[in-house]
Amino acid sequence: MLLTGAEIVMECLLREGVEVMFGYPGGAILPTYDAMTKYPQIRHVLVRHEQGAAHMADGYARATGRVGVAIATSGPGATNLVTGIGTAMMDSSPIVCITGQVPRGAIGSDAFQEIDITGITLPITKHNYLVNDVRELAYTIREAFHIARTGRPGPVLVDIPKDVQNEKIEFEYPEGPIRLPGYRPPSAADDDQLAAALELIQQAKRPVILAGHGILMAGASNELRELSERAQIPVTLTLLGKGAMPENHPLCVGMMGMHGAAACNYAIQEADLLIALGMRFDDRVTGNLKTYSPNSRKIHVDIDPSEINKNVKVDVGIAGDVRTVLAQLLPHVPSKQHPEWITQIRDWQEDGDERDILHYESEGKLFGAQVINDLWKYTGGDAVTVTDVGQHQMLEAQYYPHQRPETLLTSGGLGTMGFGLPAAIGAKFGKPDEEVWAIVGDGGFQMTMCELATAMQEGVKVNIAILNNAFLGMVRQWQEFFYEERYQATPMYSPDFVKLAEAFGIPAMRVTSRDQIEESVNFARSHETTVLIEYVIEKEEIVYPMVPAGADLHNMLRRPKPGEKQQS
């Protein structure tokens, strides 16, 4: 059949199973927008800023495991995707971004809205393309989806000049497998690697599993749990690994790292074996590398060979799909008990519980920790939560235990403020039957709050919880600890969020005391449209524990127990 390049784009998206795309039109991508009228099977969501399109595609991908799609025009439309592309790259989220480009004859002439988007995004995409021949367009899009979803997932960008979109050819969909020279994602461990890993597991007396985002992406939660239970190995989670194992499981110790549970960090430091599964030893997880888990042997399983021995030297490195490798390993793992080690970890957990802010008298103040804890309580701990970045993000990780995979979506690697609201919208499109909460701070929310209009125009139901402390809270916390309380550029003026929501036609409520939280959840659930709840919280709340940047992982700043003297 005779199709234009723009129609080929839509035909290929349809055949890739795309049901929704997030974008914003403009001159260089207009032929593809016109072609959308012939493909009503694919819903287009009109964002208010292209950054929102990338985050929505990312949220959709994280919630579903499918490839998310963002589309934008050339020049500023394309560059506005960059932050979202970088976010997806750092967190291995599979998205495909399609951008328009000026006609081929104008490339290099500084034409109106011309930008070298493939050059700009080269370091932050898994791969990218500038399509100069319409005959290559269909196969390029197939390749883009294949690369985005296979191996270590990530973002791929396809830049298409306007005249390529307009050109007509006789179209035949390219069937058959995708074959890319040099692209062979590893899958399984060899016999020697398995034997070496098994020997370390059998010898260990104080083992710890470090479960990361790779467990979720590989669908390996059941295998992780079986390994933990069979060998009685406690499990610690990265921020992006939350949900890999139910957090109410007796062998799940919680989140590790800078703001992780003290018991996790102590266990890692005292372990004699670390089994790292689908995680990359990020600096927020390790603290000072020179003193990181100094007496442990280390096994590292990751789909990306470049991550093995990159940050932490290991004894057994296995480049492979973590679910496949665990399936190979499990039949040979013996049943074991580590009663003394488990008891020690329980003691650390009890000490941490005694320091919990929920044990303190609130004296009429509303703490962010209370808000998150009660959101967990009144949603039954079963919502999909999507956060921005900052104190509220860490409080969510600490006070909203997740029992299911893909129920916490957050920007971990890049730490992108403004991610929460648009990613929550994307997640809701991916999981329309789930209860979705965007948990955001007053700072990050204002970066992308224009997407309130998108939520209303598209009729999508997201519950928005703004934790408003009138500060850039995490930066303020660092200023308190390390800059002698010089609060430069962190106090924040905000609009009246309730009135703002009402201007968009969004039901809204302000909460100033803890006894209103249950009512607020019921209020959010009583409406079929997006709802905004503003929680006015204590301005100078501290997120504990905290490992200062570059400090030893066990050298945490900790909240004193009630009656104890504050740490200096």
Active site residues: 50, 112-113, 162, 474
Distance between alpha carbon 250 and the CA centroid of its chain, in Å? Answer: 25
Q: Give the number of other Cβ atoms within 10 Å of residue 550's Cβ.
A: 10
Q: Is 264 helix (H, G, I), strand (E, B) or coil?
A: helix
Measured between alpha carbons, how far is 447 from 351 in angstroms, rounded to an integer? 38
Q: Which residue in 243, 219, 235 sits closest to 410, CA to CA?
A: 243
Task: For 432-566, list the strands marked E by DSSP.
Answer: 436-441, 463-468, 508-511, 531-536
Give the pairing type, strands 156-161 and 252-255: unpaired
Report helix angle 391-399 to 368-378, nearest 10: 40
Beta bridge partners of 387: 439
Q: Which two tokens stand for residue 15?
A: 């055949």
Measured between alpha carbons, how far is 442 from 432 in angstroms, rounded to an integer? 26
Name the residue type at position 389.
V
Q: How far is CA 136 from CA 9, 33, 160, in A?
A: 11, 20, 11
Q: Which two tokens stand for residue 547?
A: 């490992």
- Buried b / exposed e over 48-87, threshold 16 CB at 10 Å, is bbbbbbbbbbbbbbbbbbbbbbbbbbbbebbbbbbbbbbb
Measured between alpha carbons, how far is 57 from 85 in angstroms, rounded to an integer? 10
Cis peptide before 491 (omega within 30 of 0): no
- The DSSP letter of residue 252 is E
Q: What is the DSSP string of 395-439?
A: HHHHHS---STT-EE---SS--TT-HHHHHHHHHHH-TTS-EEEE
Give the pairing type, strands 43-46 and 68-72: unpaired
Residues near 496 by beta carbon (within 8 Å), at least 6 away in sequence: none
Q: Could you tell me if 25 and 48 are in contact, meaning their C-beta atoms sit under 8 angstroms apart? A: no
Beta bridge partners of 509: 533
* Element of type H or E holding 326: helix 322-329
Cα 545-548-553 angle, rounded to 5 deg? 70
